Amino acid sequence: MNWRAIAAIARKDLRAVSRSKGVMFPLVLVPLVILGGLPALIASVTPLIPPEAMAGMERFMEKLPQALRAELSGLDVEQSLLVLALVYFLAPMYLVVPLMVASVIAADSFAGEMERKTLEALLHTPATDAELFLGKLLSAWIPALGVAAVGFLLYGFVADICTFRALGRLLFPNPLWALLVAWVAPAVAGFGLGTMVLVSARVRTFQEAYQLGGAVVLPLLLLVAGQVTGLLYLDLTVVALLGISLWVVDAALLWYGARTFRRGVLISRL
């Protein structure tokens, strides 16, 4: 493995992406909205819920899993709602961020390179198929992790500031989110990446890849729905298992992706 070539590919793709407004816009806006705007909105709206509505909330909470109700014991309805929303319900939304960053950059790096017709010269270089593949993976995976880490700091900071008065303690950091950031977020990024590699092998443009690949967000929305309906509760075990299964899926996707990423195949598609 020629790490210098791998790093050169990753660095070049990142640099090119950072100069592309169409790609940078969602990369900056979505994390800001989800990780900055959403916690602030929830924290400021919760205290405004009228008491009549709070009664309904209590009935909703009674339907939550036993273990989760235990977590919330000793809190009033408003406090419970804050913890529920910020620690549990929004957790899958947090995962949208590394997923999206990885997918968008990978779409640009894989499908975009083909669309801009810059791939042919790259295939004529001594870089091996594996080096090209790895360089392109890293160009999307590393920024996804970076944005996920910085995004978590933003999210925790905003959530703590907005809820400290109501709760009297800090919600973040906590073990559940530590696991989410360090274990699940990288796996989710890998999932977006692996999907995009497969999608890019079937489409011709960045836009097509981006739109098709956008479907990867759906499983995360199912997680949100699962929790809101009380079917699911993201405790440490569930999050750890979620991480493991994602890593396994990632390995399968990338193994298959690497097999399709052959210069002889790629050049025939140009």
Partner 1 sequence: MVRGTVVIEAEDLRRRFGEVVAVDGLSLEINAGEVFGLLGHNGAGKTTTIRLFNGVLPPDGGRVRVLGLDPVREGTLLRRRTGVLTEIPALDGRLTARENLAYYAALYGVPRSRVRRRVGKLLAKFGLSERADELAGNYSKGMQQRLALARALLHGPELLFLDEPTAGLDPVAAREVHALVQDLSQAEGRTVVLCTHNLLEAQRLCHRVAVLEHGRLVASGSPAELVRSLSRGLRVEIELSPEDREVVEALRGLPGILEVVKAHPGILEVKVASHLVLPEIARVVVGAGGSLFRLSPREPTLEEVYFALHGREEAG
Residues that bind partner 1 (CB under 8 A): 2, 4-5, 7-9, 12, 15-16, 19-20, 116-128, 263-264, 267-268
If the CB atoms of residues 2 and 245 are measured against partner 1, the closer one turns out to be 2
Distance CA 8, CA 13 (A): 9
What CA–CA distance (Å, rounded) separates 187 from 80?
30
Output 31 or 112, the one with its CB closest to partner 1.
Answer: 112
Question: Which CB, 159 or 209, lies closer to partner 1?
Answer: 209
Shortest Cβ distance from residue 125 to partner 1 (Å)?
4
The two three-digit tokens of residue 62, written as one number: 């009674």
CB of 20 to partner 1, least distance (A): 6
Nearer to partner 1, 128 or 205 (CB): 128
181 Cβ contact partners less than 8 Å away, ≥ 6 residues apart? 148, 149, 152
Q: Which is nearer to partner 1, 5 or 30 (CB)?
A: 5
Closest by CA to 192, choosing from 216, 224, 210, is 216
Please report how close the Cβ of residue 145 comes to partner 1 at its closest, in angstroms. Answer: 23
Helices (H), the chain: 3-18, 21-31, 38-45, 51-62, 66-71, 77-83, 91-106, 113-115, 119-123, 129-167, 175-179, 185-200, 206-213, 218-228, 236-260, 263-269
Q: How far is the CB of 200 from partner 1 (least distance, A)?
A: 17
Shortest distance, CB of residue 260 to partner 1, whole angstroms?
Answer: 15
118 or 174: whose CB is closer to partner 1?
A: 118
The span from the first CA to the last CA of the chain, in angstroms, equals 26
**Is residue 173 reached through a cis peptide bond, with omega within 30 degrees of 0 on the bond before it?**
yes
What CA–CA distance (Å, rounded) separates 212 from 218?
12
Q: How far is the CB of 18 from partner 1 (least distance, A)?
A: 9
